[in-house]
Amino acid sequence: MKAQRPDGASMSDIDRSARVAVPYALAVLALLSFQVVAANVGAIHLVLPNLNIPIPFESGRATHLNLAVFWPMLGLMGATYYFLAHDLQTTLWSRRLAAVQFWVIIAALLAIYASLLLGYTEGREYLESPWPFKLLIVLGFLLFTVNIVGTLAKRPGQALKPVPLIVAFSVPVSGLLLLAATFSYHNPSVDEMVRFWIVHLWEEGSLDILASVAIVALLARSKGVPGRTIEGWLLVEAALVIFSGALATGHHYYWIGLPAFWITIGAVFSFVQVVPIGMLVYISFRTARGMGRGRRSGEGRSSGGSPRHSDWGLSRATYFILSAVIWNITGAGVIGLVMTIPPVNRYIHGTYVTSGHAHLALGGFFGFLVLGLVLYILDRYRPTDAAGRRDVDLSLWLLNAGMGLMGLSLLTAGALEVYRLRVLAREFMWVQSTLRPFLALRSLGGLIFGLGGLLFAWGTARPWVWANAPGFARPALKPLFRKSSLQKPPEAEAQ
């Protein structure tokens, strides 16, 4: 028995075509679950170094950093397909190609995690993997680009509209950046340089504008500000993100042996980077506020052009996205900005402050954003049942609380580390030992976050895993853990 959509509407061709996003969304749930387990093991290992953990620390850390980049990427790919089809009001050029792209990337990721866990770390941070597997992901981006160009070609008049334009810019650029960072270079300064073409230029450049597109596209689905107004802002925001983001890469180039002009350029454009963050915040909250009003008064227009669907998915997705926006202001906007001031950076660079910032900016912004998108897309095709909804509601609080605790304890540990190591110049290992209580607190935050992550995955994946089970999506299954095994659904009895 398939779950019925609450509004009972039949899926349009566009919806059927945009369904290619579903495997991406489900893969995000799987990778998220893997991530929280791997990360928690690593965090505990840091606090209790004597613990016997079968996976070497270096493999675990490499896996954690790698996942942190790749699962948001996967979610954004799916969301881009979904929102592009709806924005253009057309079917995608090739659903099969989107599926091939998906499996190419999944094969690459499986190969990467298998090789990392077997101990084949690359020894270059962030996207550690043997280079052939990275090339497979570049191939995925190539297929993605082909599919997007093909889809745009179906509606040539729309190519200069904000959403298609930003997507068409972002996707090939992301692929090219990954290609540049695939190989290791002999000169360590060059090696460091291209590493940041991914971890900076993806997250604060090409993927950032895809994220903005997804935020605006999702929020525009609700009643609120007319699409035109926000989409106009969106282009300005995206242009600023790319321009300032590219030059602000300089804030990663301060100490890696590149010319000193990067200190000036990096610092100046890091300040400019705050402007698009502010714009995105403005756009998001303005739209979210408009949504509430539209719902109350029952008027306003839906700019997405697609039929309205169950409010639950949209409203919870909005909460996740607003969480993402808040972490973006705090983690990326405020903390990130302070960190890039060169005299400050000289002290905090390479301490737990950086780690705290990375958790808030990457996990907080991209993580929560992609969870919101995943929730929205999955709910659109197969809404979860009451128990799943409760799980998701609870997970929102757990994830936010866990992220807050992780970020705060890492930043506190970092502040102490800076003072004791960099100001007082105390011995490194002694300083590390004084940080352990805060790393333990981080681990607690990680556990809370991980619990939230698993609950989220469990809640949203339920209709996809058990959709054919008799009695699914019936309120009778509500108490999932205790009573469900005792209650026989009527269908089962009939059989």
Partner 1 sequence: MNRSSKKNSDSRQSKRSTHGRGEVRRERLFGLTFIAVATAGMAIFIWLNYLSVRSLGDSPSPLAVLGKQAWQRAGCVECHTIFGNGGYNAPDLTRVTDRRSDKEITDWLTTGPVIRPTTKTAHVAVAPADAESILEFLKYIATVPNMWDGQPGKPKGAGR
Site for partner 1 in 237-266 (CB under 8 A): 238-240, 242-247, 249, 253-262, 265
Backbone angles phi, psi at 362, to 5 degrees: -85, -55
What's the closest the beta carbon of residue 146 comes to partner 1, in angstroms?
20
Nearer to partner 1, 290 or 459 (CB): 290
Do residues 230 and 216 touch, judged by C-beta distance below 8 A?
Answer: yes
- Contacting residue, 88, 104, 109, 193, with partner 1 by CB under 8 A: 193
Q: Which residue has 């227009």 as its token pair?
A: 301
What's the closest the beta carbon of residue 397 comes to partner 1, in angstroms?
28
- Contacting residue, 23, 130, 294, 470, with partner 1 by CB under 8 A: 294
Residues in the chain: 495
What's the closest the beta carbon of residue 424 comes to partner 1, in angstroms?
7
Nearer to partner 1, 26 or 209 (CB): 209
From residue 352, give the alpha-carbon distance in Å to each of 226, 250, 416, 420, 474. Answer: 43, 21, 9, 13, 47
Nearer to partner 1, 229 or 484 (CB): 229
# residues contacting partner 1 (CB under 8 A): 85
Do residues 310 and 379 touch, judged by C-beta distance below 8 A?
Answer: yes
Nearer to partner 1, 91 or 354 (CB): 354
What's the closest the beta carbon of residue 422 comes to partner 1, in angstroms?
5
Stretch 317-356 residues interacting with partner 1 (CB under 8 A): 346-347, 349-352, 354-355
Nearer to partner 1, 16 or 436 (CB): 436
* Residue 370, H or E segment: helix 368-381
Nearer to partner 1, 294 or 470 (CB): 294
Amino acid identity, residue 175? G
- Contacting residue, 20, 21, 22, 166, with partner 1 by CB under 8 A: 166
Stretch 435-454 residues interacting with partner 1 (CB under 8 A): 436
Q: How far apart are CA 314 and CA 423, in angstroms?
A: 49
What's the closest the beta carbon of residue 61 comes to partner 1, in angstroms?
5
Backbone angles phi, psi at 135, to 5 degrees: -65, -35
Q: How far apart are CA 373 and CA 379, in angstroms?
A: 10
202 closest CA partner among 179, 182, 180, 173: 173
- Contacting residue, 8, 10, 424, 482, with partner 1 by CB under 8 A: 424
- 363 in contact with partner 1 (CB under 8 A): no
Q: How far apart are CA 92 and CA 143, in angstroms?
A: 13
What's the closest the beta carbon of residue 382 comes to partner 1, in angstroms?
32
> In the structure encoding, which two tokens stand for residue 151, read together?
């889809």
Stretch 5-44 residues interacting with partner 1 (CB under 8 A): none
253 closest CA partner among 239, 243, 271, 267: 267
Task: Find all residues with CB under 8 Å of 53, minimum gap 6, and list them.
Answer: 41, 44, 45, 60
What's the closest the beta carbon of residue 115 comes to partner 1, in angstroms?
13
What's the closest the beta carbon of residue 68 comes to partner 1, in angstroms?
15
- Contacting residue, 30, 100, 125, 155, with partner 1 by CB under 8 A: 125
Nearer to partner 1, 270 or 400 (CB): 270
Nearer to partner 1, 243 or 466 (CB): 243
Q: Please work out, in degrees rounded to the nearest 5, the angle formed at the alpha carbon of residue 262 by the alpha carbons of 257 and 265.
A: 170
* Residue 49, H or E segment: none
